[in-house]
Amino acid sequence: MRGMKFTLYFSNAPAPKAVTQEQLERLMPVLFSTEEDALHGAALVIRGGQYPWLIVGPGVRLDAREIGKRCEPILMLLKGR
């Protein structure tokens, strides 16, 4: 898809410490046009009880730990709704 540059990978199981390409190939990638949109998607994944593993895009590679940190403010906003 044109314009969709950021990919979020997630699962119903927590991410391993080192994610391999083989593991990623078993997951369904979700595409987003911006890093911010991918982080919002990851926050919804967390809120739904699943686990974001990785966000990749131009100049960006966020692992599960970094995604969790970056999603905290979004999750706080969602809690208020």
Beta-carbon contacts of residue 36 (< 8 Å; ≥ 6 apart): none
- Quick one: pLDDT band at residue 81, thresholds 50, 70, 90? low
User: The whole model's pTM is what?
Assistant: 0.90
At residue 53, the pLDDT reads 98
CA–CA dist 75, 80 (Å, integer): 9
Strand-pairing partners, residue 51, are 11
| The pLDDT of residue 2 | 66
User: Is residue 48 pLDDT above 90, yes or no?
Assistant: yes
Longest dimension (CA), the chain: 38
| 8 Å CB contact between 61 and 19 | no
